[in-house]
């Protein structure tokens, strides 16, 4: 019987109340719900950007508190809504994480750029020269340079135009299928959740109101709260 990759038991943090969840290796979990429902707070618990005020989180069967934080964040990468890049070249950004662990190999750069559909000529470019969509792809490549097994995505396309949203989604789907990643993603876009996710978690007022398989749970909501949410979008 498969054991959960993550298990949350009775977790409280800020708005979050009594969160109990199991996430398995290979899941593509979409977190959605109204603004202020606790989606980003929940996401940030998975790599200890936040710690719970109460309750326990287990990763690979062990308390997440027992993991060295830098190594944990190497295995559980986070990509934010706004790309936070160093004001250096694309190459400098890609090298940063692996260099901390003395694991950088120069031949990785071409592969990383290929993963996110950027030409090799971008390697020596300053990040200040890049468009918003290109910066987000570099941010994703920088996270992938650490070879994570889990990818946390905090609304990575919400600040992009439709064309760049499509490009980022294509990149994500290719990465998910080729690298066997577990993905946990916050999104306000219900159609995006259907396209990218295999499981959905609907949060409202800090609690899990409904969870299930995608797209079924969005096409046929079981709770009145989710029905209202999908109707009002």
Asked if residues 211 and 31 have their Cβ atoms less than 8 Å apart, the reply is: no
Q: In whole angstroms, what is the distance from residue 78 CA to residue 82 CA?
A: 12
**What is the residue whose two structure tokens read 């989710």?**
226
pLDDT the model gives residue 167: 84
pTM for this structure?
A: 0.92
Which of 100 and 19 is assigned the larger pLDDT?
A: 19
Asked if residues 190 and 218 have their Cβ atoms less than 8 Å apart, the reply is: yes
- Using a 10 angstrom Cβ sphere, with 0-12 exposed, 13-18 middle and 19 or more buried, the burial of residue 62 is exposed
pLDDT tens string 72-121: 999 999 998 888 898 999 999 999 888 887 777 787 888 889 888 899 99
pLDDT at residue 233 above 70?
no
Nearest-10 Cα torsion for 227, 228, 230, 232: 160
Query: What is the longest distance spanned by two Cα atoms in the chain?
Result: 53
pLDDT the model gives residue 157: 84
* Helix pair 132-144, 90-100: axis angle to 10 deg: 20
Q: What are the strands of the beta sheet with 16-23, ordered from one edge?
A: 16-23, 6-13, 54-59, 62-63
What share of the chain has pLDDT > 70, as a percent? 100
pLDDT the model gives residue 163: 83
What mean pLDDT, rounded, does the chain reach? 92
Closest by CA position to 181, among listed 54, 40, 29: 29
Of the listed ranges 21-30, 60-69, 171-180, the one predicted with least confidence: 171-180
Domains of the chain: 6-232 (3.40.50.300)
């Amino acid at each position: 019987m498969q054991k959960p990759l993550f298990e949350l038991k009775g977790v409280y943090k800020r708005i979050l109340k009594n969160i109990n969840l199991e996430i398995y290796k290979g899941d593509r979990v979409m977190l959605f719900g109204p603004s202020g429902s606790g989606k980003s707070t929940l996401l940030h618990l998975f790599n200890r950007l936040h710690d719970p005020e109460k309750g326990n989180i287990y990763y690979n069967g062990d308390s997440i508190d027992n993991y060295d934080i830098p190594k944990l964040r190497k295995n559980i990468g986070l990509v934010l809504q706004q790309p936070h890049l160093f004001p250096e070249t694309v190459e400098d950004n890609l090298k940063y994480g692996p260099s901390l662990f003395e694991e950088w190999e120069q031949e990785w750069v071409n592969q990383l750029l290929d993963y996110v559909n950027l030409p090799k000529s971008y390697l020596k470019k300053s990040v200040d020269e890049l468009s918003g969509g290109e910066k987000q792809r570099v941010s994703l490549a920088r996270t992938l340079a650490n070879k994570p097994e889990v990818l946390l995505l905090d609304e990575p396309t919400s600040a992009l135009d439709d064309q760049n949203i499509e490009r980022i989604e294509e990149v994500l789907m290719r990465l998910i299928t080729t690298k066997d990643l577990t993905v946990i993603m916050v999104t306000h876009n219900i159609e995006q959740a259907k396209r990218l996710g295999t499981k959905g978690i609907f949060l409202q007022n800090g609690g899990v109101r409904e969870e299930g398989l995608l797209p079924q749970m969005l096409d046929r909501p079981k709770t009145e709260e989710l029905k209202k949410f999908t109707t009002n979008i």
